[in-house]
């Protein structure tokens, strides 16, 4: 664990996600957006182009990377290619999240990656849930193709707990193909389809929440219907009733929503101190009865979700966000820890 201030904090909003489609050849039991073969909602090319144009123009090219996710972005290759081409024309770098279903053969996988506009990063998902639909051989082929095409990649794995033998077996296999730093593990959270199997999830539990700061909320994500969330995590299921819902592109421009997110004190407090800080503040404020008695070990998203899914806590947070002292603390905290001045400027300190 690194406690050095700011050294590994992702800069805010340099990376923006776009969920291209809910369609996916797999219907994994843990999928938070309930993607699957029967889902067909996707972003229209017209909307995607409009939003990409706005993203690229925002603060004269402030956003560097457009991360395309889903669902499975490769499931509609025509849409994927058109969106990638438009993003590249607008000088955005592109990263992709995929389960590698398309990598049925090495050479074919290489040709497909080469045929697309430049990919700056590839995230390949595999775990016990994905492997029920996508063979590990495909993941091996996708990794091989990424290496052949000199595309930096991560492998994303989820597990109910890191001591799970199935997870450890997958991790061991992955170590033969990738550096440990290229393997990123998340804990399954009981949201979306995973809520249906929550009693079967083999969590290890703790009395205290995960104490890490939040990195995911540095990258907002746009959904096909125009909703924008502060992260792609489980909070998405809370719809518009939570502080990390940033707005809808059908009602506001990208610039309006992104500017507003710069002064979202709850979001930036999560980046600065993580959900555990809120848990301690809530306990001090006598709100402990609204907190869970146990947390999922090492799951920062579960800690965050458990706080923000409670209506009384959301109301408390709403009040907190109006508090000038708290806002000042967050604005200066961003300067001190993250070297970010935007909130100081916009809030007029």
Partner 1 sequence: MSASAKPTMMSASARKCAMPESLLKLFKNDVRRVPEIPHANGWIIFDHEMLISVLRNDNPKIRNELANQIEKMNRANGMLISVQR
- Find the binding residues for partner 1 in span 57-86 (CB under 8 A): 60-62, 64-65, 67, 69
Give the whole-angstrom CA distance, residue 312 versus residue 90.
43
Which of residues 165, 172, 180, 286 is near partner 1 by CB under 8 A? 180
By CB under 8 A, is residue 284 in contact with partner 1?
no
Q: Which of 217, 215, 221 is nearest to 17 (CA)?
A: 221
By CB under 8 A, is residue 186 in contact with partner 1?
yes
Using CB under 8 A as the binding rule, the residues of this chain from 322 to 341 that contact partner 1 are 328-329, 332-333, 335-341
| Cα angle 154-158-164, degrees, rounded to a multiple of 5 | 125
Choice between 1 and 176, CB closer to partner 1: 1
- The answer to whether 182 touches 155, Cβ cutoff 8 Å, is yes
Q: Which of 160, 95, 97, 144 is nearest to 125 (CA)?
A: 97
Give the whole-angstrom CA distance, residue 169 versus residue 328.
47
By CB under 8 A, is residue 113 in contact with partner 1?
no
CB environment 249-264: b (16+ within 10 A), e (fewer): beebebeebbeebbbb
Given strand 245-248, what is the order of strands in its sheet?
183-187, 153-159, 121-125, 93-98, 65-70, 15-21, 221-222, 227-229, 245-248
Give the pairing of strands 205-206 and 295-296. Answer: antiparallel
Burial class, 268, CB count within 10 angstroms (exposed 0-12 / middle 13-18 / buried 19+): buried
By CB under 8 A, is residue 129 in contact with partner 1?
no
Choice between 51 and 167, CB closer to partner 1: 167
Which range touches partner 1 (CB under 8 A), out of 5-13, 38-46, 77-85, 285-293?
A: 5-13
By CB under 8 A, is residue 289 in contact with partner 1?
no
Give the whole-angstrom CA distance, residue 187 versus residue 27.
18
By CB under 8 A, is residue 2 in contact with partner 1?
yes
The number of residues that bind partner 1 (CB under 8 A) is: 71
Closest approach, Cβ 315 to partner 1, in A, equals 26
Closest approach, Cβ 251 to partner 1, in A, equals 25
Using CB under 8 A as the binding rule, the residues of this chain from 233 to 272 that contact partner 1 are 233, 272
Choice between 258 and 273, CB closer to partner 1: 273
By CB under 8 A, is residue 342 in contact with partner 1?
yes
- The answer to whether 217 touches 271, Cβ cutoff 8 Å, is yes
Choice between 290 and 337, CB closer to partner 1: 337
String of contacts with partner 1 for each residue 196-235, x by CB under 8 A:
---------------xxx-xx-xx-----------xxx--
Closest approach, Cβ 102 to partner 1, in A, equals 17
Residue 98 structure tokens: 């995929």
Choice between 211 and 253, CB closer to partner 1: 211
String of contacts with partner 1 for each residue 20-59, x by CB under 8 A:
----------------------------------------
Q: Which of 317, 318, 151, 326 is nearest to 343 (CA)?
A: 326
By CB under 8 A, is residue 97 in contact with partner 1?
yes
- The answer to whether 50 touches 1, Cβ cutoff 8 Å, is no
Closest approach, Cβ 199 to partner 1, in A, equals 21
Closest approach, Cβ 153 to partner 1, in A, equals 10
Q: How many Cβ atoms sit within 10 Å of the Cβ of residue 178?
A: 17
Which range touches partner 1 (CB under 8 A), out of 176-184, 200-208, 257-265, 286-294?
A: 176-184
By CB under 8 A, is residue 163 in contact with partner 1?
no
| Cα angle 95-99-100, degrees, rounded to a multiple of 5 | 90
By CB under 8 A, is residue 282 in contact with partner 1?
no
Closest approach, Cβ 46 to partner 1, in A, equals 25
Residue whose entry in the numeric block shows the structure tokens 């995590």:
233
């Amino acid at each position: 664990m690194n406690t050095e201030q700011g050294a590994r904090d992702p800069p805010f909003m340099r990376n923006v996600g776009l969920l291209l489609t809910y369609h996916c050849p797999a219907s994994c039991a843990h999928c938070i957006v309930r993607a699957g073969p029967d889902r067909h909602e996707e972003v229209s090319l017209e909307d995607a182009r409009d939003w990409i144009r706005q993203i690229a123009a925002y603060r004269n090219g402030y956003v560097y990377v457009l991360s395309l996710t889903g669902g499975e972005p490769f499931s509609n290759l025509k849409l994927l290619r058109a969106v990638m081409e438009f993003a590249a024309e607008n000088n955005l770098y592109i990263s992709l999240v995929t389960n590698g279903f398309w990598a049925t053969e090495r050479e074919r996988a290489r040709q497909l990656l080469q045929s697309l506009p430049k990919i700056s990063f590839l995230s390949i998902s595999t775990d016990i849930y994905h492997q029920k639909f996508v063979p590990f051989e495909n993941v091996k082929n996708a990794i091989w193709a990424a290496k052949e095409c000199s595309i930096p990649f991560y492998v994303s794995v989820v597990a109910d707990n890191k001591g799970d033998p199935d997870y450890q077996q997958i991790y061991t296999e992955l170590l033969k193909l990738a550096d440990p730093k290229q393997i990123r593990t998340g804990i399954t959270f009981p949201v979306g389809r995973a809520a249906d199997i929550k009693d079967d999830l083999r969590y290890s539990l703790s009395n205290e929440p995960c104490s890490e700061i939040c990195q995911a909320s540095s990258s907002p994500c746009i959904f096909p219907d125009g909703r924008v969330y502060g992260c792609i995590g489980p909070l998405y299921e809370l719809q518009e009733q939570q502080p990390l819902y940033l707005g809808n592109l059908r009602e506001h421009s990208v610039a309006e929503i992104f500017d507003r997110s710069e002064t979202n004190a709850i979001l930036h407090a999560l980046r600065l101190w993580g959900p555990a800080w809120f848990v301690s503040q809530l306990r001090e404020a006598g709100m402990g009865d609204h907190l869970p008695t146990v947390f999922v070990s090492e799951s920062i998203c579960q800690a965050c979700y458990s706080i923000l899914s409670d209506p009384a806590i959301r109301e408390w947070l709403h009040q907190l966000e109006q508090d000038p002292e708290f806002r000042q603390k967050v604005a200066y905290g961003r300067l001190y820890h993250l070297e970010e001045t935007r909130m100081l400027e916009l809030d007029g300190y």
